[in-house]
Amino acid sequence: MDMIKTFGEAGIIPVIVIEDIEKAVPLARALVKGGLPVLEVTFRTQCAAEAISKIKSEVPGARLVAGTVLGLEQLAAAREAGAQACVAPGFDQEVVRAAKALGMPFCPGVATASELSQALALGCKMVKFFPAESAGGVKYIKDLLGAFRWTGVRFMPTGGVNLSNVSDYLAVPEIVCCGGTWIAPKDAIAANDWTRIETLAADAAKLAKARKC
């Protein structure tokens, strides 16, 4: 996967937490049908790898990304399950190097200029800015770009991004996409309300499309 190209075409990436494996496929179908095909399945639950595998085999058009990849075991599990890229909330040199050795596109998380410098030194072209709103939001990213724009780095802000502020983030050219949990709320998943999730995905997809126009 060309991570920057694929994430950029999507514009908004649903960050999903799957606790019940039976909900993985219908959730993914609703998101893809709504117009958001790139899905970040977080390794916050025991069934994350199984969810990635099931979605890959049963939901045509879904592009699977493993999220919250914090260590080498999770990296290996994501690869085995069929994830096409991995995202982390923090920066771990060992994991970045391992992903590179495996040929796995990897987007580490950063929240400071020092972490960004280290990520760039290891060849990372895109970073996850996390937790975006708490760490300073759009203004902080613009401040970082004042020093780092020349590197060509691209950002994926996640954490506190929602329908009310995502357009502000997407207005920054160096922001490839945004990740968000608001598209797949826990209460909707628990209620099997796939229609609501499809609608939320469609609303987000419209914003992402407007950014490209």
Q: What is the pLDDT of residues 175-186, one digit of tens each?
A: 999 999 999 999
Mapped onto helix, strand or coil, the DSSP state of residue 168 is: helix
Q: Is 40 a catalytic residue?
A: yes
Task: Give the mean model confidence (pLDDT) for residues 7-30.
Answer: 97
Distance CA 114, CA 93 (A): 13
Q: For the chain, what percent of residues have pLDDT higher than 70?
A: 99
What CATH superfamily classification does 3-204 receive?
A: Aldolase class I (3.20.20.70)
Contact in structure between 55 and 34 (CB atoms under 8 Å) = no
pLDDT of residue 165: 96
Task: Give the mean model confidence (pLDDT) for residues 102-110.
Answer: 98
pLDDT of residue 211: 79
Distance CA 153, CA 172 (A): 12
Q: Report whether pLDDT(60) > 60.
A: yes
Distances in whole angstroms, Cα of residue 45 to Cα of each of 50, 51, 89, 96: 10, 10, 15, 22
Q: Is 128 a catalytic residue?
A: yes
pLDDT of residue 63: 98
Q: Indicate the average pLDDT of the chain.
A: 97
Q: Domain boundaries in the chain?
A: 3-204
Catalytic: which of 23, 54, 128, 198? 128
Catalytic: which of 40, 54, 56, 198? 40
Label residue 62 by pLDDT band (50, 70, 90). very high
Label residue 210 by pLDDT band (50, 70, 90). confident
Q: For the chain, what percent of residues have pLDDT higher than 90?
A: 98
Task: Give the mean model confidence (pLDDT) for residues 12-26.
Answer: 98
Task: Give the mean model confidence (pLDDT) for residues 86-90.
Answer: 98
CB-CB neighbours of 37 under 10 Å: 22
pLDDT of residue 213: 55
Label residue 76 by pLDDT band (50, 70, 90). very high
C-alpha dihedral (129, 17, 75, 105), degrees to nearest 10: -50
Q: How confident is the model over 123-171, as pLDDT tens digits?
A: 999 999 999 999 999 999 999 999 999 999 999 999 999 999 999 999 9
Task: Give the mean model confidence (pLDDT) for residues 12-20.
Answer: 97
